[in-house]
Amino acid sequence: MASLSSTLGRDTRVLSLIYTGHFMSHYSQLVLPPLFILMQTDYGVSFAALGLVITLINASGALAQIPIGFLVDRWGAKRILIAGLLIKTFAIGAMALTSSYEVLLLLAIIAGLGHAVFHPADYSILMSSIDERRIGKAFSIHTASGTAGTAAGPIAIVLIAEFWDWKTAVLSVALLGAITGIAMILQGNIIQDHVGRKKENKSARKNLGISEGIALLIQPRFLILYLFFLTTATISIGLNAFTVTSLVKLYGTPLVTAGAALTTFATAGVLGVLCGGYIADKTDRHDLVAACAFGLSALVTVFMASTDLHHFVLLSCFAIIGWLLGLVRPARDMMVRAITPEGNAGKVFGFMSTGHLVGGVIVPVLYGWIIDQNEVRWIFWITAILMMIAMLSLFNPARRNGPQAQ
């Protein structure tokens, strides 16, 4: 990528705005799973049926994300980012106002469409606005902001639900989303993406058309990284969505303590992401960093799956796994950046991030069904297997030897 002239002050303002939106996207994404225990009573449906709500959020986002990535590369990221945030906020708020399960499913689809904008738009803005000397740390803090939203969401939502009810908890998330959207509208003039840069610099490389873009995305090195994204996302979604329910069902953990376990996992993930950003700026062997982290995570997960553990030990295990998985994320983003042609970050990161959403289509119903069958421990065994698949995907020479984009 061409070196960008950018002051630290401007970078900080851009990052603050983008990170706030990314925090909100992850915070709102976890509004429902910690409340499944309470929602099941009101709606009178199974956990698998509630898992379908999360599946639809991720399915609609997965279908929309690649087209949105192409639109970001052609029209720019700012307006698309703000529109997506407001659409998702509307859908989340409406979920608290309906008593119909069928309407809840429709709102889940709308929420997924809004959520689909964040990664294509965010990465396009970051790669076009941030000085290359700080891009590794920018990626890591961007990921950390999302992980921080994941960390804050479960415990805050559960506490609000404990003091009031689950619908109030959902409405509180919508209120925060509305405030974030208004802030982005008022401060959006500082956001720049590659579309604006091309208007100022006619020599900048043009983004690829639809057929050329699709041909780019199906190259082997992109597909191997997509497999890595998919398995990584499946691991995170499974732990984020069903840790609370699994601990309550398997160990009889109190609801607030189970929410604290998920928050511990996510908080450790934030620290891991920040460490991973520092490492990403110090080494080119991002694949080796990610492989080691996944190997160690698999060992800890097998330990949890095969042993009955005290609550304190469980919290420690979730902290270790969270930190190790956090190390992976900046390395993952740097591997994608290395093969992304300039002006095409929207479609490339949009494509890669559908792995997260496709994982979200598969996991919620599957894991909900496993819990309905009283085989909760299998959630941890499946997680360990996926960690090994992710680790092995990094050693494929088709990805490692692919030409680096300049």
- 81-130 pLDDT, tens digit per residue, is 888 888 888 888 888 888 888 888 999 899 888 888 887 787 777 777 66
In 3D space, the residue among 110, 155, 404 whose CA is nearest the CA of residue 261 turns out to be 155
Higher pLDDT, 150 or 272: 272
Q: Is 193 exposed, middle or buried (0-12, 13-18, 19+ CB in 10 A)?
A: buried
Q: What is the DSSP string of 302-369?
A: HHHHHS---HHHHHHHHHHHHHHHHHHHHHHHHHHHHTPPTT-HHHHHHHHHHHHHHHHHHHHHHHHH
Token pair belonging to 217: 């995305």
Tokens for 323? Answer: 């930190």
Q: How far is CA 74 from the centre of its chain?
A: 24
- Residue 401 pLDDT > 50, yes or no? no
Expressed in angstroms, the distance from the first to the final Cα of the chain is 6
Beta strands in 173-257 (DSSP E): none
What pTM value is reported for the model? Answer: 0.66
CA 176 to centroid of chain Cα atoms: 19
pLDDT digits (tens, 9 = 90+) for 195-251: 555 444 544 445 566 777 777 777 777 888 888 888 888 888 788 777 777 777 777
3-class SS at 136?
Answer: helix
Which pLDDT score, from 0 to 100, does residue 106 have?
A: 92
Which domains are seen in the chain, by residue range?
A: 8-400 (1.20.1250.20)
Angle (CA) 187-192-196 rounded to 5° is: 130
Measured CA to CA in angstroms, residue 156 lies from 71, 161, 240, 284, 324 at distances of: 35, 9, 14, 38, 24
pLDDT score recorded for residue 278: 79
Helices (H), 33-165: 36-43, 47-75, 78-95, 101-115, 118-129, 135-163
Decide: helix, strand or coil at residue 202: coil
Q: Tell me whether residue 133 is exposed, middle or buried, using C-beta atoms within 10 angstroms of its C-beta: 0 to 12, 13 to 18, 19 or more.
A: middle
**Distance between CA atoms of residues 211 and 215, nearest Å:** 6
Mean pLDDT of 334-349: 74
